[in-house]
Amino acid sequence: MRRIYTMAILVWTVTEVQGQTQLPSGLTGTIDENYVYTRTYLEPKTQSDSNAKQIQAIQYFDGLGRAKQTINIKASPKGRDIVTPFTYDYYGKPTRDYLPVPQSGTQNGKIYSQNSLAVDFPVGDPEAIYSGERPFTEKVLEKSPLDRLQQQIQVGNDWASKPVTFKYESNKNGEVKKYTATFSYTTFVAKLILSASYGSGQLFKNTVTDEDGNQTIEFKNSQGQVVLVRKVISDTENADTYYVYNDYNQLAFVIPPKAAIQADANTVLNELCYQYKYDEGNRLVEKKLPGKGWEYMVYNKADQLILNQDTVLKDKGQWLFTKYDQFGRIVYTGITNNPASRASMQNSANINTNLYETRTSTTGFILNGLPVYYTKLSTPTGLSILLSVNYYDSYPTYSFNPALPVNTPDMTVLTGTPTADGKSTKGLPVMSFVKNIEDDNWTKNYTYYDQKGRVIGSHSINHLGGYTRIESELDFTGMPQKTVTTHKRLAGESGVTITEHFEYDNQYRLLVHKHQVDDKPEQILTENSYNELSQLNNKKVGNNLQSIDYTYNIRGWLTGINKAQMAIPDLGGKLFSYIVKYNQINGIENPDSALFNGKNVKPRYNGNIAEVDWRAVESLGANPPIAPKRYGYVYDALNRLTAGYYQNPVNPYSKEHTESLAYDLNGNITNLYRTSAIEGNNTTATVIDELEYTYGSNNLTNQASVIKDYKNNPSGYEGGGGNIQYDLNGNMWQMPDKNITKITYNHLNLPNKIEYGNLGLSGLHNYLYSADGVRLQKKLPKIECGIINCYTVTEITDYLDGFQYYRNESDNNGGGGIEELSMITEKLKYAYEQQAYSTESGITMAQAAPLGITAVKTPQLMFFPTAEGFYDYGKDQYIYQYKDHLGNARISYARNSAGSLEITDANDYYPFGMNHLKTGNAFFGSGSYKNYKYNGKELQETGMYDYGARFYMADIGRWGVLDNYSENYFPISPYSYVANNPTKFIDINGEWIYINDQNGTQYRYHNGATQHQVDGKWTNVDASTQLSDYVVQTIAGLNHLDKNTSIGKTMIGYFDQAQGKDGKIRDIYFNSTSDVSHIKYGISNIIELNPSDKGVWTTLGNDSKYTPLYTTIAHEMGHIYENYALGITSQSDTRFGPNSTTAEIYGTHVENIVRAESGLPLRTNYGSTCGGSTCIPNDEGRLIDNAGSSIYYNKSGGQISPTPSVESILKINGKILQNRYNYIGAAGYYKLQKFKNRPR
């Protein structure tokens, strides 16, 4: 993609003379404004061409260099201009942010007149897009030089009186407990001490109140460390999370709310608190999560994590290891058998001078059947099990390597050998091998690139010997025009070929997606159309089998799917209508105020959903159309769902399909009340669950030990009140209520064997995983009996790159007809709510062809996913799905062999995901796509949903295992599902860089693309997605760092990848804030980012012009990289001033590297000294000398020790300043040294 920038700057004087500037070629007329014009070509050009396919934008500036107006030229779906105005208050502050306004035509780049007398609408809205709504957010600032935010008012008239408010105070005496921590390196013992409370004025107190009045209060000490986060539940109850730091300013303990109310938190440290220990190098070496045993970490001398171990592995005498190359890239991982302690293993690492492995030209060693082209010199040298191997730069010459894609006149495939112009795969990941955990078979993955370094193909050899190969044709900008996927389960099979074509408009909004299987007729999966804000407003699915309309409110939140059809009895030929309501309700507030006291449905303004209405045609021709149904939702002050009232259209007070919940302070469910339908002559619904959860003997743990059902109705939770058991990693391994006698977990805490009752072989569920946590196979043995004998039939499901196979294997030698034993049914009745489903009548497999006709290629292939649902291979049928806002499958439908519409599956869900009972329209069966239901996840025979990283139990609203990322959500129980707000969130495994918009929408940054969730799947956004300025700016900053800076590319490359199995955090969350940009809680992987937070001391003075957002992002990401990738936690360091930390020294170092590589002025100082309204840079915070060299880092990237004195720092070219890290020089010469950290 090529961009050309044109800048025109008019110099204004005190005279009235105004200059006229001709607009660039292709635009109309002259203009007397300052502007920056951007033209992005969408096809190859060697010179400027106004007629070429392109995206154009122009931004105008006033005489002070402030943005005045941005015009996206002809950018709307109708080819009209989209204008975003900018205004400033009396003091010149940008207190309003306007939504883009589509115009009635185009002015070819000329500025639109702005009406200064109508500041609510600076430019016209000729198409009435906003229909009189407030199209801007507004900030109310404190009337002081601090300019602190007091109110944030969102767009829309309904939000004008519902601001988010901010209050700044200091604490009162006795308001906050004062915890301290001590730590001894000699004994390696940390102690938590409660010493009364903080006195008045010792802490900063900031209160944020959201649109619904929910308060969050944050207390910080004088060093900027978060001491307490308080969520106000009521006038008499708070949920407090305390953060406790040791003598070295390291986070030592986190005390969640359930522990904070105890008189002595020491009594619940192991069950409820987070504990951390560090070595002398400030590296995290031991930690303990609540309900889980201790974890141990070992580092090499480059501060890279090389060994980690949990308590279960420790009992086995095993460690997980990670090996690196000289560039810090992971080259292989595995398990080493060694019973030595952490201290002993660390000593071994300290004396080993080999820090990395080197690529070899011949086989370096062979392990688990795989030749490896690396040395094995770094710690550990004794390798027991190999789990993964990664190759970079060039493809090693394995005998099983597939052929590279074929070169074409328009595309050259890169190899390890440089082309004539020096291009190769140098620096790119090219191959990765992943072993199965339960056996020694491997999945071998290859990635192919074109001459621009773009991925144009992949080839994955699966563990059974087959493969999946994908080749893409990209256009000039890198957008896929065509993809061809070839898949085989086994090497000897014919397999299946899928060809997809994509068509876009001139702004790269996806218009048409075509899909073809083998040589069958090509199908149009989707035809999209968009409104003038580029929001998807209609999607024709399956050659217009269904035309689906979408509507949104002014916040950009989805409000309806086929909304207009809700009032039509037969839905006007559509199958599903869905309305989402946030700040309005139309149903009842409470069906039984005595039973559900204080739980009333209310309008919500903070993004929580108040009501949903839906109407579905669930079975064509078999029943009259169903009247509209409704759920009303109730939340507490912590945004936890406390009730979901289903409202029968005939009698909304019948309390059918209702869930009501109560929680403890950590969000563990303590009581759950659930009803089903009305039975017999009753007028109200049958209560099927009245659950009481117990958490240990004193309810002082997060692990549910007993769940008692006072109704004992098998239609809901199975009941029984049996004791639930957990292993040392916090995994549930026994649950008598579900007849589960034992669950065995692998080292990733994924279940590879589930045993039921005393059924022997027939009571086993076996799972096979690869070492990266991908499920590959499921085996379910069962006993069947014929006339002569009984025998074992094993149902086997293979999961291969989305292609799902089903087959039976039998040890039967004959015996006539089959009769399944009743004990199998007995087994399953404990597993899932069979009353919710009709059992799939039978699996349709592709039939063998008659004599003389070509046989079906892959008869055991059941289905594979498409962008709109699934393709049923056995029936040669495209399955399309209506999904709600959470990606829950609601209606599955298809075109039958006669060409008519048919419904294949229909589902309604309780709020926490259990299917409504006794509807008769939901199906469940072996090997069926119909098992993919709630959140689009597969329902297992166990009754649990497989989310990939762990299994979810919808009947009790909890996970069975600990959340690996619970440290991102300290106040919430690691077993809670989506923070107990299942109407708004779905679970994410946590593997990427996430950006959370101000309105709660989440986006993901991956390989330079912005992604959002569509029907539960992460999909690249196109111009149909309306992104807020915050998201756009954050993505632009990440793109700059990734494309233009080596250190930014290193950090983004680390976090933008699948979650590592080495114990390291590999995901980052960006949240919007009005405060200064910072790391949330002081230590986390959450960046609170303020795009308006500008102005640091640079070589040009206090400078906001040359402080683009990407410098702030780099600074904050540097903190997270240092903490999570290098294992180093910040500690006090007064070289920046009395309240400074080592993290800021590192963060500013990263920032200046980015500045140097981006051609920006270097940052000179960290802080300021202020007197009144005047501030000057403080000498203590000096970062560079007058030659542009670092004061803290030498030219190899290591931190200088001992610290030079302030007097020496201020010398010019003095001896103390020699041999420093020169940022300007390093931008060209020292790229490989940049991530060396300070020596230990």
**CA–CA dist 669, 589 (Å, integer):** 23
Residue 620 has pLDDT above 80, yes or no: no
Residue 906 lies in a domain: no
Tell the residue number behind the tokens 């002259």, with chain if given: 30
Residue 742 lies in a domain: no
The pTM assigned to this predicted structure is: 0.82
SS (H, E, C) 1173-1210: CEEEECHHHECECCCCEEEEEECCCCECCCCCCHHHHC
The last residue of a domain, from among 620, 649, 678: 649
Residue 41 has pLDDT above 80, yes or no: yes
- pLDDT tens digits, one per residue of 649-697: 889 999 999 999 999 999 999 999 999 999 888 888 999 999 999 999 8
The pLDDT assigned to 1194 comes to: 64
Stretch 16-43: mean pLDDT:
73
Q: Are residues 1190 and 1089 in the same domain?
A: yes
Residue 580 has pLDDT above 50, yes or no: yes
The pLDDT assigned to 1231 comes to: 34
The pLDDT assigned to 1001 comes to: 67
**Residue pair 941/780 in contact by the 8 Å Cβ criterion:** yes
Q: Are residues 1225 and 1117 in the same domain?
A: yes
Angle among Cα 514, 516, 520 to the nearest 5 degrees reads: 135
Residue 480 lies in a domain: no
HSE at residue 1093, side-chain half, CA atoms within 13 A, is 20
The pLDDT assigned to 1066 comes to: 62
Residue 18 has pLDDT above 70, yes or no: no
Residue 695: how many other CB atoms lie within 10 Å: 24
Tokens encoding 1027:
């992104």
Stretch 310-322: mean pLDDT:
97
The pLDDT assigned to 1051 comes to: 83
Tell the residue number behind the tokens 């700016």, with chain if given: 1033
pLDDT band at 29 (very low <50, low <70, confident <90, very high): low
Q: Are residues 324 and 279 in the same domain?
A: no
Torsion sign (Cα): 1115, 1119, 1120, 1126:
positive
Residue 582 has pLDDT above 80, yes or no: yes
Tokens encoding 93:
């502050």
Ranking 141-145, 741-745, 962-966 by mean pLDDT, the lowest is: 962-966
Stretch 761-782: mean pLDDT:
89
Residue 1071 lies in a domain: yes
Residue 702 lies in a domain: no
Partners of 71 in the beta sheet?
Answer: 58, 83
Stretch 56-85: mean pLDDT:
91
**CA–CA dist 1044, 1056 (Å, integer):** 16
Residue 819 lies in a domain: no
**CA–CA dist 147, 1093 (Å, integer):** 11
Q: Are residues 1047 and 1133 in the same domain?
A: yes
Residue 492: how many other CB atoms lie within 10 Å: 9
Residue 324 has pLDDT above 80, yes or no: yes
**Residue pair 8/34 in contact by the 8 Å Cβ criterion:** yes
- pLDDT tens digits, one per residue of 1092-1145: 777 777 777 766 666 788 889 999 888 888 776 665 666 666 666 655 677 788
- pLDDT tens digits, one per residue of 236-267: 999 999 999 999 889 999 999 999 999 989 99
Q: Are residues 124 and 199 in the same domain?
A: no
Burial string for 1211-1226 (b: 16+ CB within 10 Å, else e) reads: eeeeebbeebbbbbeb
The pLDDT assigned to 1217 comes to: 39
Range of the domain at 313: 294-464
Q: Are residues 23 and 87 in the same domain?
A: yes
The pLDDT assigned to 1219 comes to: 53
**Residue pair 1114/1045 in contact by the 8 Å Cβ criterion:** yes
**Which of 341-350, 450-459, 1155-1164 reaches the highest mean pLDDT?**
341-350
The pLDDT assigned to 1164 comes to: 82
Which contiguous run of DSSP H or E holds residue 1116?
Answer: helix 1109-1120
pLDDT band at 7 (very low <50, low <70, confident <90, very high): very low
- Mean pLDDT score of the chain, rounded to an integer? 84
Q: Are residues 282 and 301 in the same domain?
A: no
**Residue pair 510/525 in contact by the 8 Å Cβ criterion:** no
What is the count of structural domains for the chain?
A: 5
**Residue pair 154/211 in contact by the 8 Å Cβ criterion:** yes
Q: Are residues 459 and 323 in the same domain?
A: yes
Q: Are residues 1073 and 1093 in the same domain?
A: yes
**CA–CA dist 1177, 1187 (Å, integer):** 18
Residue 846 lies in a domain: no
Residue 1230 has pLDDT above 80, yes or no: no
Tokens encoding 381:
């040298």
Residue 1156 lies in a domain: yes
Ranking 472-476, 556-560, 836-840, 1103-1107 by mean pLDDT, the lowest is: 1103-1107
- pLDDT tens digits, one per residue of 388-401: 999 999 999 999 99
Q: Are residues 275 and 313 in the same domain?
A: no
Stretch 354-383: mean pLDDT:
96
pLDDT band at 621 (very low <50, low <70, confident <90, very high): low
- pLDDT tens digits, one per residue of 843-894: 555 544 433 333 456 779 999 999 999 999 999 999 999 999 988 999 999 9
Instruction: Report the relative pairing of strands 923-924 and 838-839 from DSSP bridges.
Output: parallel
The pLDDT assigned to 1042 comes to: 79
Stretch 359-384: mean pLDDT:
97
Report the share of the chain in percent with pLDDT over 90.
54
Residue 1017 has pLDDT above 50, yes or no: yes
HSE at residue 689, side-chain half, CA atoms within 13 A, is 31
**Residue pair 1177/1164 in contact by the 8 Å Cβ criterion:** yes
Radius of gyration of the CA atoms of the chain, in A:
31
Residue 292 has pLDDT above 70, yes or no: yes
**Residue pair 1078/1144 in contact by the 8 Å Cβ criterion:** no
**CA–CA dist 1057, 603 (Å, integer):** 39
The last residue of a domain, from among 464, 497, 525: 464
Tell the residue number behind the tokens 């894609």, with chain if given: 405
Q: Are residues 106 and 234 in the same domain?
A: no
Name the E strands within 233-317: 238-245, 251-255, 274-278, 284-288, 294-299, 305-309
The last residue of a domain, from among 268, 288, 308: 288
Angle among Cα 1056, 1058, 1059 to the nearest 5 degrees reads: 105
pLDDT band at 176 (very low <50, low <70, confident <90, very high): very high
Tokens encoding 1033:
């700016």
pLDDT band at 1053 (very low <50, low <70, confident <90, very high): confident
Q: Which residue has the higher pLDDT, 761 or 1028?
A: 1028
Stretch 977-984: mean pLDDT:
90
Q: Are residues 64 and 103 in the same domain?
A: yes
Tell the residue number behind the tokens 């006195």, with chain if given: 199
Q: Which residues contact 805 (CB under 8 A, 6 or more apart)?
A: 489, 796, 797, 798, 860, 861, 862, 927
Stretch 635-660: mean pLDDT:
95
Residue 594 is which amino acid? A
The pLDDT assigned to 439 comes to: 95
**CA–CA dist 371, 962 (Å, integer):** 36
Sheet with 101-102, edge to edge strand ranges: 2-8, 34-41, 54-61, 67-73, 82-85, 101-102
